[in-house]
Structure 1
Amino acid sequence: MSILVTGADGYIGWPTALRIATQTTDRVVLVDNFARREWVESVGSTSAVPVAEMDDRLAAAEEIHGCTNLSFVREDLTDKATVDRLLSIHEPTAIVHTAAQPSAPYSQINGERANYTQHNNLQATRNLLWGLHEQGLEDTHFIETTTTGVYGAPEFPIPEGGATMEHRGESDDVPFPAMAGSWYHLTKSHDAANMRLAHTQFDVPISDVRTAITYGTETAETAADPRLATRFDFDYYFGVVVHRFCAQAVAGYPMTVYGKGEQRKPFIALEDAVEGLARLALADPDSRPDDHVVYNQVTRAISIVEIAETIADVAGEFDLDVAVEHFENPREEDETHKMEIENDRYADLIDGQSTTFEEGVRDILGTLIDYQDTVEAHEDRFLPGVLADDETAETDDDAESPIASEGE
Structure 2
Amino acid sequence: MPILLTGADGYVGWPTALRIADRTDDRVVMVDDFSRRGWVEEVGSVSATPVADIDTRLTAAREVLGLQNLSFVQGDLTEKSFVDELLTVHEPDTVVHVAAQPSAPYSQINGERANYTQHNNMQSTRNLLWGLEEAGLTDTHFIETTTTGVYGAPNFPIPEGGATMENGGERDEVPFPAMAGSWYHLTKAHDAANVRLAHSQFGIPTSDVRTAIVYGTETEETREDDRLKTRFDFDYYFGTVTHRFCAQAVAGYPVTVYGKGEQRKPFVSLEDAVEGLARLALADPDDRPGDHVVYNQVTRAISIVEVAETIAETGADFDLDVDVEHFENPRDEDETHKMVIEHDRYDDLIGEQRQSFSEGVTDIFETLVRHRETVTAYEDRFLPSVLADGAE
Could you say which TM-score interval applies, normalised by the shorter chain? over 0.9
State how far apart, in whole Å, the 2-side matches of 1:358 and 1:227 are: 25
Once the two structures are TM-superposed, the CA of residue 297 in structure 1 deviates from its matched residue by: 0.4
Which secondary structure does the structure 1 equivalent of 2:30 belong to? Answer: strand
Matched, 1:86 2:101: no
Give the partner amino acid of 1:200. S
What does 1:257-336 align with in structure 2 at a 5 Å threshold?
A: 257-336=257-336
- 1:399 aligns with none
Once the two structures are TM-superposed, the CA of residue 287 in structure 1 deviates from its matched residue by: 1.7
- 1:247 aligns with 247
State how far apart, in whole Å, the 2-side matches of 1:287 and 1:370 are: 43
Which secondary structure does the structure 2 equivalent of 1:72 belong to? Answer: strand
What does 1:119-158 align with in structure 2 at a 5 Å threshold?
A: 119-158=119-158
Give the partner amino acid of 1:194. N
Give the alignment's TM-score, normalised by structure 1.
0.94
Give the partner amino acid of 1:168. G
Contact 1:87–1:132, Cα closer than 8 Å, also in 2 = yes
Contact 2:83–2:131, Cα closer than 8 Å, also in 1 = yes
Please list the CA deviations of residues 204-224 of structure 1 after superposition, one character each: whole Å capped at 9, or x if unmatched. 000000000000001000110
State how far apart, in whole Å, the 2-side matches of 1:388 and 1:35 are: 23
Give the partner amino acid of 1:150. V
Please list the CA deviations of residues 225-277 of structure 1 after superposition, one character each: whole Å capped at 9, or x if unmatched. 00000000000000000000000100011101111100000000000000000
Q: Root-mean-square deviation (CA), in Å?
A: 1.0
Once the two structures are TM-superposed, the CA of residue 332 in structure 1 deviates from its matched residue by: 1.8
Give the partner amino acid of 1:88. T
Please list the CA deviations of residues 316-356 of structure 1 after superposition, one character each: whole Å capped at 9, or x if unmatched. 10010111011111222111000000001001100021111
State how far apart, in whole Å, the 1-side matches of 2:386 and 2:168 are: 49
State how far apart, in whole Å, the 2-side matches of 1:32 and 1:90 are: 15
Which secondary structure does the structure 1 equivalent of 2:154 belong to? Answer: coil
State how far apart, in whole Å, the 2-side matches of 1:263 and 1:9 are: 32
- 2:200 aligns with 200
Once the two structures are TM-superposed, the CA of residue 288 in structure 1 deviates from its matched residue by: 1.1
Please list the CA deviations of residues 94-115 of structure 1 after superposition, one character each: whole Å capped at 9, or x if unmatched. 0000011000000011111100
Contact 1:380–1:387, Cα closer than 8 Å, also in 2 = no
State how far apart, in whole Å, the 2-side matches of 1:328 and 1:194 are: 39
Matched, 1:34 2:64: no
Matched, 1:387 2:370: no
State how far apart, in whole Å, the 2-side matches of 1:232 and 1:156 are: 33
State how far apart, in whole Å, the 2-side matches of 1:389 and 1:231 are: 22
Give the partner amino acid of 2:288. R
State how far apart, in whole Å, the 2-side matches of 1:278 and 1:136 are: 25
Give the partner amino acid of 1:47. S
Contact 1:8–1:31, Cα closer than 8 Å, also in 2 = yes
Which secondary structure does the structure 2 equivalent of 1:39 belong to? Answer: helix
- 2:352 aligns with 352
- 2:236 aligns with 236
- 2:177 aligns with 177
What does 1:10-159 align with in structure 2 at a 5 Å threshold?
A: 10-159=10-159
Once the two structures are TM-superposed, the CA of residue 122 in structure 1 deviates from its matched residue by: 0.4
State how far apart, in whole Å, the 1-side matches of 2:381 and 2:367 are: 19
Once the two structures are TM-superposed, the CA of residue 391 in structure 1 deviates from its matched residue by: 5.7
State how far apart, in whole Å, the 1-side matches of 2:217 and 2:173 are: 39
**Structure 1 vs Structure 2: percent identity of aligned residues?**
75
Once the two structures are TM-superposed, the CA of residue 289 in structure 1 deviates from its matched residue by: 1.2
Contact 1:209–1:296, Cα closer than 8 Å, also in 2 = yes
State how far apart, in whole Å, the 1-side matches of 2:388 and 2:32 are: 30
Please list the CA deviations of residues 7-57 of structure 1 after superposition, one character each: whole Å capped at 9, or x if unmatched. 000000000000000000000000000000000000000000000000000
268-277 vs 326-335, greater mean Cα deviation: 326-335
Higher RCO, 1 or 2 (CA under 8 Å, sep at least 6)? 1
- 1:406 aligns with none
Once the two structures are TM-superposed, the CA of residue 389 in structure 1 deviates from its matched residue by: 7.3
Contact 2:237–2:384, Cα closer than 8 Å, also in 1 = no
Contact 1:165–1:172, Cα closer than 8 Å, also in 2 = yes
Contact 1:151–1:180, Cα closer than 8 Å, also in 2 = yes
State how far apart, in whole Å, the 1-side matches of 2:56 and 2:381 are: 29
83-92 vs 325-334, greater mean Cα deviation: 325-334
Which secondary structure does the structure 2 equivalent of 1:8 belong to? Answer: coil
Give the partner amino acid of 1:387. P
Structure 2 vs 1, CA of residues 47 and 105 (structure 1 numbering), >3 Å: closer, same or farther? same
Give the partner amino acid of 2:132. L
Structure 2: 5+ residue stretches without partners: none
Which secondary structure does the structure 1 equivalent of 2:317 belong to? Answer: helix
Structure 1: 5+ residue stretches without partners: 393-408
Once the two structures are TM-superposed, the CA of residue 387 in structure 1 deviates from its matched residue by: 3.2
